[in-house]
Each structure stands twice: as C-alpha cells, then as structure tokens.
Amino acid sequence: MHYTGNTDQSSARYWNDLAKLYQKETRISTSDFHYGPLLPGDSKLKLLPAIGTPFQCLEIGCGAGQNSIFLAKQGAQCIATDISEKQLAHGRKLAAAENVTVNFRCISMDSLREGLLREGLLPDHAFDLIHSTYALPFSADPQKVIADAAAVLKPGGTFLLTTGHPLYTGEWLDIGDGEEGLFLPDYFRPEPDVRISPDGQTLSAAQTWPASTIAEWLHSAGLLIERFLEPEPMPIPDMSEAEVRAAVPYESNGWRELYPQLTRAPIVMLFKAVHQNF
C-alpha cells in the first residue's frame, strides 16, 4: 500500500478501525489530565489554568475525550471534537458512565472553524481553554489548525498543545557493547511514522515538526508561549501497580515495554500558549 498523506476520509477510516483496540488496550484516566504515554498528568505538571465559572473548553482530536471528561468533572463546559465517529461513540458512553456532560462532535481539525460554524458552536473568541493531546501529528495542515484554534480562543485564553517530538522518530541502534543509541537521520525534516490499520486496509501517518517550527506557528497565530516542556516518564519500574494507577493517567503494556526508550528521548513536546490580544 502506498502512503499519499492523511485526508479526512482516510483518517476517519483508520481511526474508526482502530478505536475499539485503542480504547481497550490503553488505560486513560478521567481523574487527571493526561499528556502522553507513561508521563505525569496535570496533577504533577500543573499547566492547566484555573477553571472559572463559566469556563468554555474545546478539545481537538479528543479520541474518547478523557481529558474533556476530566475538565467537565471540574465544572467546565466542554466541546470535544474528533474525525472518528467510533472514537466519539466511546467518549459519549464514557461521559454517560461518569455522569458528566461533554458535547462530542465529529469535526475535522483541518477545517476546525468551518466545522464549529457548521455545528453552530461559534462566535469567534469563544473558548477559555483549547487543548489537544497527540492529535496534531495526524493533521494535513497543522499551521492552519493552530491559526484556527487561536481565532476561536478568548483574548487571554489558553492553548495547551501536546504534539509528537521529532527526536522520537529516530531509530535505536546497537552502538556496541550491548549499548543502544538514537540515530536521527534529519531533525529538520523528520520522516512520518506510517502505520497500518488493524484490518490492514488503511494507512495513517503521524508527522512531527521541529520545536522551533511549532513555536513559529504559535507566534504567527498571535499566541505567546508561556511554557515549553519535554516531560520524562514516571519511574514506572520503582512504582507499585497501585501507584501507577493513581499517578500515571495514560499507559498500556505496549508503552511499558518502551519505557527504556521513553526515559532517553522525549516522545512529546508540550506548549502552553496564551492569546495575546487583550
């Protein structure tokens, strides 16, 4: 199969096919805000702004919306968007089980403002917080996603973006004496990570960009970067199962196997930016 780039149609098919397995194999907490595999949640990183009343949130590429459900539990009004109806269906079930209201909508991040308008969910500058955890890598037009997010953020509002780290696209090689080192062919033009769906029918690619490229996209969108983090994983081997459950909001057996690599190269980078025009 030949990879020709993600489109709304190919992404919807790929993620609809993967949704059941993804939600079954990954333990994603709704009691903390997660940023990625084996990483500390917001109870440790403390990047979320204080939740006022009212407090309007928008999640981009929400999956089953565990982060939106967490925010809704704190009293926020949450819209959670994704391209995959199957992922959204998991989210609706989970929110009902947790007894909270989250407005789940099928909107592509690549036409975010158009989608919000179509669904009657705008005026502009509507949101106090826009957040997205590892969805941007699947965008066909990431700079537009950031510009659209900035346009619908309230002046002074927060954009919390977690996206893939280009270093993690490197390859682990044996460098002698049983030691592994990371080989990165090109930091400035990282190769996409092309994946095949469980039914073998669709391809999807996760793309990363240099940290400075994302920073420039945020700057051009009128956002001011307040924090930039490359978080290290929690010390999983030193923790009991109960401690992992309590303090690691996103994990799976597959991710635990990758712990040694995760301790040596950041898998995500995390930007907290604020809308400057106020």
Ligand X SMILES: C[S@@+](CC[C@H](N)C(=O)[O-])C[C@H]1O[C@@H](n2cnc3c(N)ncnc32)[C@H](O)[C@@H]1O
With contacts defined by CB under 6 A, name the span among 49-57, 103-111, 187-195, 225-233 that binds ligand X.
103-111
- C-alpha dihedral over 190, 196, 201, 203, to 10 degrees? -10
Under the criterion CB under 6 A, does residue 83 sit at the interface with ligand X?
Answer: yes
How far, rounded to the nearest angstrom, does the alpha carbon of residue 185 sit from its chain's CA centroid?
A: 25
Q: In angstroms, rounded to a whole number, what is the distance separating the alpha carbons of residues 270 and 254?
A: 22
Q: By C-beta, is 195 or 219 nearer to ligand X? A: 195
Of 95, 135, 203, 268, the residue at the interface with ligand X (CB under 6 A) is 135
Residue from 40, 41, 61, 249 binding ligand X (CB under 6 A): 61
Distance CA 170, CA 192 (A): 11
Instruction: Please pick, from the candidates 29, 30, 56, 87, the single residue that binds ligand X as defined by CB under 6 A.
Output: 87
Q: Which is nearer to ligand X, 83 or 167 (CB)?
A: 83
By the rule CB under 6 A, 163 interacts with ligand X: no
Q: How far is the CB of 117 from ligand X (least distance, A)?
A: 16
Q: What are phi and psi of 76, to 5 degrees?
A: -80, 155
C-alpha closest to that of 155 among 275, 273, 14, 17:
275
Report the number of secondary-structure helices (H) and strands (E) in the chain.
Answer: 10, 13
Given the complex with ligand X, which of 64 and 223 has the nearer CB atom? 64
Q: Which of 57, 80, 94, 109 binds ligand X (CB under 6 A)?
A: 109
Which residue's CB atom is positioned nearest to ligand X? 63
Strand locations in the chain, DSSP E?
A: 27-28, 56-60, 77-82, 102-106, 127-133, 153-164, 171-174, 180-183, 193-196, 203-206, 223-229, 250-251, 268-275
Site string for ligand X, 220-239 (x = CB under 6 A): --------------------
Residue 50 DSSP symbol: P
Residue 134 touches ligand X, criterion: CB under 6 A: yes
Asked whether position 63 contacts ligand X by CB under 6 A, the answer is yes
Find, among 68, 36, 58, the residue nearest to 165 by Cα: 36
Task: Determine the distance from the C-alpha atom of residue 127 to the mean position of all C-alpha atoms in its chain, rounded to a whole number.
Answer: 18
Per-residue contact string for residues 164-193; x = within reach of ligand X by CB under 6 A = ------------------------------
Q: What is the DSSP letter of 49?
A: P
Return the range that interacts with ligand X (CB under 6 A); candidates 42-50, 78-86, 147-155, 234-242.
Answer: 78-86
State the number of CA atoms in the 13 A half-sphere of 15 facing the CB.
26
Contact stretch for ligand X (CB under 6 A) within 37-45, 131-139, 212-220, 237-245: 131-139
Q: Does 138 bind ligand X (CB under 6 A)?
A: yes
Interface residue list for ligand X (CB under 6 A): 8, 11, 15, 28, 61-63, 82-84, 87, 108-110, 133-135, 138-139
